[in-house]
Structure 1
């Protein structure tokens, strides 16, 4: 977190990737939701004076860049990936691995970067997809 940034009481940072440089929250921003990077990749950059509401999930396997002064309301989702493979056999194999060994670090989730520009407003319950 940068100077003056804050996490709310129920905020979650799930850095499965394990690289603290890949999740950056800018000055004066407030995060009440969840930020997640997958084991095989992902990067989240949140600009200055941003708000991420309660129940919002920002999950990255490629890159998600959020500009300055962005308001993301409650219970929104921002995903740069499919979160699971489309084919049932691959999806089942992924779930088995998560249950037994944790998130795989060698999977493709059809990732594609997401960029939300300065001064955007993402309303409650919105879905922003790759």
Structure 2
């Protein structure tokens, strides 16, 4: 019969393995999202926007996605919606990303990008709207 000490050791090792595996898979999922064409294009639009760069300060960095918030952070294969935390040297906020594609295997389109700043949570800046090609800088 196994001693209580041996069982506790096995349980502790098992717990570490489970937690490590969960963290590893979370990082892999985030990395896959951040490597997607719509995500890269969205950050390119954000960082190249002169007004945002001046307002937030450079460099503008993206943070970790809240993958537990499946209502605001998801990708169905044809539609993607994410709330990306972003931070500049002066201000931080959230990039609201909306992307879609007509069918699986086709190219993604960034449909809409909005920026919400932390100091004004009830307002958003429209950065990109695929229905309007140009947005005021």
- TM (norm. structure 1) is 0.29
| Higher relative contact order, chain-length normalized (CA < 8 Å, sep 6+) | 1
The structure with the larger Rg is 2
Write 1 or 2 for the structure with the bigger share of helix: 2
- TM (norm. structure 2) is 0.28
